[in-house]
């Protein structure tokens, strides 16, 4: 039986790579992002290559009405969603006080509130069918001490680790698996969109992963019923070292490293 995957932030980066790998395995796709032209380009490529159905829905997750419309459109489409990849997101450079609170509210809407609303809307169908998969794209940043700049990013990613753990416990007896996928530095448009590309390009090459490897590992991890998965041996080593350090030393280490790739504005 053909399965359907819904992917947010599917027009580029990790989201587009999820679309490619799931299309290659025969999934029908529902793709959403703000840029319909980019989504349609991905859809045309994958439907012609793999003979699958692809439906595109333009939506801005910063707008609650768009999220409600997205859920309504998915239900009206009538393709039961077997896999939800919660991927859309961005980084907000600078220190907390340097941006208006409205900007932070928008960030929280995209990174936390809207994805929760989508999961809340999709879970009943998954539980009723006795099968479902939810992959929340968290980050290695969710395990690191807070840094100077990008104030809310690590906090949001830590949130998704904890939420995924709870959702897994609540839904596994109904056949629904939930994974927090935690990549580190990954080649994508992420750092171009927030202006940090010149800084992060100075990071050692061994710290970086390709999106295709992040996605491949994530799809394997959820089928293995993993709840939290950190991509890459180097990222797992970093997490192990930092979480076993005394807190004061870990914060000092994080502060020193974050100055190399965090944008700060007074």
Residues labelled catalytic? 153
Specify the pairing of strand 228-230 against strand 186-187: unpaired
Q: What are the Cα distances from residue 104, in Å, to 65, 87, 92, 107, 191? A: 18, 19, 8, 5, 18
Structure tokens at 150: 């990008």
Closest CA to 87 of 144, 29, 173, 169: 29
Neighbouring C-beta atoms of residue 156, cutoff 10 Å: 21
Q: Rounded to whole angstroms, how far apart are CA atoms 72 and 153? A: 29
Helix pair angle (233-244, 247-258), 10° resolution:
130
Which pairs count as long-range contacts for 127-132, CB under 8 Å and 24+ apart, including other chains?
127/171, 127/174, 127/175, 127/176, 129/80, 129/82, 129/175, 130/174, 130/175, 131/82, 131/175, 131/176, 132/81, 132/82, 132/83, 132/84, 132/171, 132/175, 132/176, 132/177
């Amino acid at each position: 039986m053909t399965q359907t995957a819904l992917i947010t932030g599917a027009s580029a980066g990790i989201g587009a790579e999820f679309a490619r790998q799931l299309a290659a395995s025969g999934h029908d796709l529902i793709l959403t992002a703000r840029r319909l032209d980019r989504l349609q380009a991905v859809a045309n490529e994958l439907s012609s290559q793999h003979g699958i159905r692809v439906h595109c829905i333009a939506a801005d997750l910063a707008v609650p009405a768009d999220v409600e419309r997205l859920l309504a459109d998915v239900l009206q489409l009538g393709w039961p969603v077997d896999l939800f990849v919660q991927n859309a997101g961005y980084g907000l450079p600078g220190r907390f006080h340097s941006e208006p609170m409205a900007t932070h509210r928008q960030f929280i809407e995209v990174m936390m509130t809207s994805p929760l609303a989508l999961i809340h809307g999709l879970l009943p169908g998954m539980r009723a069918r006795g099968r479902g998969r939810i992959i929340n794209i968290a980050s290695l940043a969710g395990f690191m001490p807070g840094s100077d700049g990008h104030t809310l990013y690590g906090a949001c990613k830590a949130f998704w680790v904890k939420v995924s753990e709870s959702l897994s416990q609540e839904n596994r007896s109904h056949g629904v698996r939930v994974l927090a996928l935690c990549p580190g530095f990954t080649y994508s448009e992420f750092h171009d969109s927030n202006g940090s590309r010149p800084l992060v390009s100075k990071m050692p090459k061994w710290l970086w992963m390709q999106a295709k490897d992040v996605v491949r590992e994530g799809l394997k991890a959820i089928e293995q019923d993993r709840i939290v998965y950190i991509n890459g041996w180097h990222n797992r080593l970093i997490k192990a070292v930092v979480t076993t350090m005394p807190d004061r030393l870990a914060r000092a280490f994080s502060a020193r490293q974050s100055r190399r790739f965090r944008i700060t504005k007074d």
